[in-house]
């Protein structure tokens, strides 16, 4: 199937990027958010990203206008009824995602492929809330979506070969390198990354070094572009906590358990860059 119209549900950190790259690749995009303020905020994030590209001479002002012109923002889920593919990028909560897909199932035509950008939930558990589990995949993008070159395309036991091929083709069309993964918690990247991030917090809790020194150690000693605490703040501490809890629930292994310091920071609303502070303070 040639995917011409893409629906994106949720226009936060990830959804805004997914919507942007889809429109950049020439597809029509319908974005759904919870209210008008969230639509305005999401569109503003995309506008800001594209404006920077124009300033740097990487994009013409006409192209920016054309990209934004291919996007519509709505609060009505019913507006997804003309989409060939719907990508969900809302909060990392299984019950809320299942409810969303069950509703989408009644709105979208039979050919529409459903995809979730979940980092850690079982794709099959969401597919089971619809009558089209064969048309269901994971499309796991990375933050910031327009810059990160990877997408993990995830197939469940029910995903058909054609739908999986269409999803991989979409990933390539939006300019990403596709890694194919089965529906196992964390897929490839988070299976390995999440224990590393949680261990970094445990190292800080046990007083091995300061967060600044742990970050410097991993950047300069391993050649990583960001230290673990910079990365945690970038990903979002609330998102990391959700992911850790889901992976711990699945594997029951200590290395996926959330350290108390992570819980305390999230309870205090210090969710990372997006909230102004996390391990580091961004208000200064
Ligand atoms: N942050 C990351 O680095 C990252 C990376 C890969 C995948 N993910 C996954 O992507 C998903 C979204 O994460 P995020 O970081 O973009 O979160 P976010 O909090 O930045 O954005 C979520 C958005 O979804 C909106 N929303 C909530 N319910 C909605 C609904 N029913 N309909 C429409 N919009 C709704 C919220 O208003 C919010 O704007 C999660 O499943 C997360 O695990 C996150």
Separation between Cα atoms, residue 121 and residue 92, nearest integer Å:
8
How many Cα atoms sit within 13 Å of 8 on the Cβ side?
30
How confident is residue 119, by pLDDT bands cut at 50, 70 and 90?
Answer: confident
Share of the chain above pLDDT 90, in %: 95
- Centroid of ligand 1 to alpha carbon of 16 (angstroms): 9
User: Angle at Cα 234 formed by Cα 218 and Cα 87, nearest 5°?
Assistant: 125
- Centroid of ligand 1 to alpha carbon of 201 (angstroms): 23
278: DSSP letter = S
**Could you tell me which of 167, 168, 175 has the C-alpha nearest to residue 147?**
175
Please name the residue whose Cα sits nearest to atom 39 of ligand 1: 12
pLDDT at residue 222, as a whole number: 98
Query: Which residues sit with their C-beta closer than 6 Å to ligand 1?
Result: 9-15, 32-34, 38, 89-92, 100, 117-119, 140-143, 235-236, 239
Is 162 annotated as catalytic? no
Mean pLDDT of 109-136: 97
pLDDT tens digits, 227-257:
999 999 999 999 999 999 989 999 999 999 9
SS3 letters across 227-271: CHHHHHHHHCHHHHHHHHHHHHHHHCCHHHCCCHHHHHHHHCCCC
End-to-end CA distance of the chain: 49
Is residue 64 over pLDDT 90? Answer: yes
Is 275 annotated as catalytic? no
How confident is residue 141, by pLDDT bands cut at 50, 70 and 90?
Answer: very high
Domain 191-275 has CATH 1.10.1040.10: yes
- Centroid of ligand 1 to alpha carbon of 278 (angstroms): 18
Which residues face 9 on adjacent strands? Answer: 32, 88
Mean pLDDT of 50-65: 97
Q: Which CATH class is domain 5-182?
A: alpha beta
- Centroid of ligand 1 to alpha carbon of 118 (angstroms): 9
Mean pLDDT of 104-129: 96
pLDDT tens digits, 200-235:
999 999 999 999 999 999 999 999 999 999 999 999
Catalytic residue among 22, 117, 135, 190: 190
Q: In what order do the strands lie in the sheet with 28-32?
A: 71-74, 28-32, 5-9, 85-88, 113-116, 136-141, 150-155, 177-182
pLDDT at residue 88, as a whole number: 98
CB atoms within 10 A of CB 28: 18
Separation between Cα atoms, residue 53 and residue 151, nearest integer Å:
22
- Reading the block at residue 101, the tokens are 């897909």
pLDDT at residue 120, as a whole number: 85
Three-state DSSP at 1 gives coil
pLDDT tens digits, 16-31:
999 999 999 999 999 9
**Could you tell me which of 93, 136, 146, 144 has the C-alpha nearest to residue 114?**
136
116: DSSP letter = E
Please provide the average confidence, as pLDDT, over all residues in the chain.
Answer: 97
pLDDT at residue 236, as a whole number: 94
Is 111 annotated as catalytic? no
pLDDT at residue 284, as a whole number: 79
- Reading the block at residue 253, the tokens are 């292994």
Please name the residue whose Cα sits nearest to atom 28 of ligand 1: 90
Catalytic residue among 152, 200, 230, 271: 152
- Cβ neighbours of residue 162 under 8 Å, at least 6 residues apart? 1
- Reading the block at residue 167, the tokens are 């999803």
| SS percent in the chain: helix, strand, coil, step 5 | 50, 15, 35
Whole-prediction pTM: 0.91
Residue of 13, 154, 194 with the most ligand 1 atoms within 8 Å of its CB, for mutation: 13
The residues spanned by each domain of the chain are: 5-182, 191-275
Separation between Cα atoms, residue 79 and residue 277, nearest integer Å:
36
Is residue 71 over pLDDT 90? Answer: yes
**Could you tell me which of 191, 219, 211, 221 has the C-alpha nearest to residue 270?**
211
Three-state DSSP at 57 gives coil
How many Cα atoms sit within 13 Å of 156 on the Cβ side?
21
């Amino acid at each position: 199937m040639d995917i011409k119209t893409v629906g994106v549900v949720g226009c936060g950190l990830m959804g805004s990027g997914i919507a942007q790259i889809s429109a950049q690749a020439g597809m029509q995009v319908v974005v759904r958010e919870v209210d008008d303020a969230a639509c305005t905020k999401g569109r503003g994030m995309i506008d800001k990203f594209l404006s920077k590209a124009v300033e740097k001479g990487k994009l013409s002002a006409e192209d920016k206008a054309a990209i934004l012109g291919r996007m519509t923002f709505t609060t009505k889920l019913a507006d997804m009824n003309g989409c060939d593919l719907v990508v969900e990028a809302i909060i990392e909560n299984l019950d809320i995602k299942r409810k969303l897909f069950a509703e989408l199932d009644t709105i979208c035509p039979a050919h529409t492929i459903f995809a979730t950008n979940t980092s850690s939930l079982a794709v099959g558990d969401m597919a089971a809330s619809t009558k089209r589990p064969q048309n269901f995949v994971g499309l796991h993008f990375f933050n910031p979506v327009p810059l990160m070159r990877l997408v993990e395309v995830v197939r469940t036991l029910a995903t058909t070969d054609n739908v999986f091929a269409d999803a991989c083709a979409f990933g390539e069309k939006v300019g990403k390198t596709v890694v194919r993964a089965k529906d196992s918690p964390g897929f490839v990247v988070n299976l390995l990354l999440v224990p590393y991030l949680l261990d970094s917090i445990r190292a800080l809790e046990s007083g091995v070094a300061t967060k600044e020194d742990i970050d410097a150690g991993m950047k300069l000693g391993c050649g990583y572009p960001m230290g673990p605490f910079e990365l945690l703040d970038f990903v979002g501490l609330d998102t990391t906590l959700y992911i850790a809890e889901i992976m711990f629930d699945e594997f029951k292994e200590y290395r996926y358990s959330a350290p108390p310091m992570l819980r305390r920071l999230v309870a205090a609303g210090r969710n990372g860059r997006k909230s102004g502070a996390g391990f580091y303070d961004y208000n200064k």
